[in-house]
Amino acid sequence: MKDRDLARVYLDHGATTPVHPEVLNAMIEVYKGYQGNPSSLHETGLVAAEYLEASRETIATVMGTEPGNIVFTGSGTEADNMAIQGVILATEDEVGKQHVITSSIEHPAVLSTCKFLERKGIDVTFLPVNEEGIVDPVEMQEAITPRTVLISIMHANNEIGTVQPIEEMSKISRDAGVIFHTDAVQSFGKIPLPLDGNGVHLLSASAHKIYGPKGVGLLYMANGGMEGDGKPWIKPILHGGGHEHGLRPATENTPGIAGFAKAAEIAFTTMESEMARERDLRDMLIDRVLEEIPESHLNGHRTKRLPNNANFSFKGVEGESLLMRLSMAGYDVSTGSACSSKSNAISHVLEAIGLPGSLAQGSLRVTIGRSTTKSMLKDFTMELEKCIGDLRAMSPLWEEK
């Protein structure tokens, strides 16, 4: 591995977060002392199982639910696949072809899964969003047909941070007798979850977005994932042993899950103060950028957005070039979503909100986190202004204006 300069200002918490020291300690405790397989019947296995169940209990408690409603997975992507493909498998006997409703701005973990189902002959409706990136609940209701078996709408968007009216949509879905899933990978531990009353049936989350380890996720299933009559909402998409209520075969990643539990405990117990702190920083950043940098544009809703997300477009500037300049100056940010930032394609999210190509090319996502301070953002804004000035000075597109 190259010896790199690590003294950087990290403003890409939407891509992933550094592991919290207490999370690391929780994982080391399990790694060092209890190497058992939680399915083994001997003492070492029983201790590992105790760690696993204690972690499940911690996460359930901070989420305000029961441990039996939590299935651990290997990632947020896997939880999304389990929910979506799992509902299709559980409803394959239903008369007529199944129909799924989702939105056009989902993360690829949902979008590609739905496109895969479409290729297999399942009907999928990809709902549009308005220019602020919000799905219209009425349009969603109108898309429901007697064949609809699943609605999957993300809680908060990973690129532009928009928070959807999930409570309203899950109520409509429940009233229509349709399973509602939400991808809450970006919102989990950052804003309150839509679980109460008429809340979602299924919800995906991932540890590495909340200062936990990479490669650990969960699928929340209300009511243990079944109707009152015991009919399961999902069937497993992987086949193997009977782990995780028979829904997710594979030896559980006990140390990683213990880290996830510690990360969730910290995130949920400090949510209110951290949410307010990050929201203030975000608003300060947005105000400064829009005021100080000419021809700058905020993508997404001004207030209905994640407390840590700001996404801008700058006329006459190419996003990749801006990212590289900022990176050379010591700032880590992203353009488009992290997962697709190595491709030059215009983000499907920016396209869905109707952003003209010239602005979509010049987009920049800044996602703040626990270590971000006001002075960091002030310095960042000055550097951003300088980089944009330099790039515009070299851009024939900008001179033409």
Q: Which residues are catalytic?
A: 339
* Closer by beta carbon to ligand PLP, 208 or else 315: 208
Residues that bind ligand PLP (CB under 6 A): 75-77, 80, 107, 109, 154, 158, 183, 185-186, 206, 208, 217, 339
* Closer by beta carbon to ligand PLP, 143 or else 339: 339
Residues in the chain: 401
Give the containing element (helix H, strand E) for 108.
Answer: helix 108-119
| Smallest gap from residue 187 Cβ to ligand PLP (A) | 8
Closest residue to ligand PLP, based on beta-carbon distance: 76
What's 225's DSSP letter? G
What's 336's DSSP letter? S
Distance CA 208, CA 161 (A): 17
HSE (side-chain half, CA atoms, 13 Å) at 7: 0
- All residues at 6 or more sequence positions from 228 whose CB lies less than 8 Å from its CB, including other chains: none
Q: Decide: 72 and 56 in contact? Cβ < 8 Å.
A: yes
| Smallest gap from residue 23 Cβ to ligand PLP (A) | 15
| Smallest gap from residue 111 Cβ to ligand PLP (A) | 10
* Closer by beta carbon to ligand PLP, 77 or else 335: 77
State residue 141 phi and psi, 5-degree precision. Answer: -60, -40
* Closer by beta carbon to ligand PLP, 237 or else 339: 339
| Smallest gap from residue 77 Cβ to ligand PLP (A) | 3
* Closer by beta carbon to ligand PLP, 218 or else 388: 218
* Closer by beta carbon to ligand PLP, 340 or else 381: 340
| Smallest gap from residue 201 Cβ to ligand PLP (A) | 17
Q: What is the sign of the dihedral through the CA atoms of 175, 176, 182 and 187? A: negative
Distant-in-sequence contacts of 337-342, Cβ < 8 A, 24+ apart: 337/14, 337/107, 337/158, 337/159, 337/365, 338/12, 338/14, 338/15, 338/16, 338/158, 339/107, 339/108, 340/108
Collapsed DSSP state (helix, strand, coil) of residue 253: coil
| Smallest gap from residue 184 Cβ to ligand PLP (A) | 8
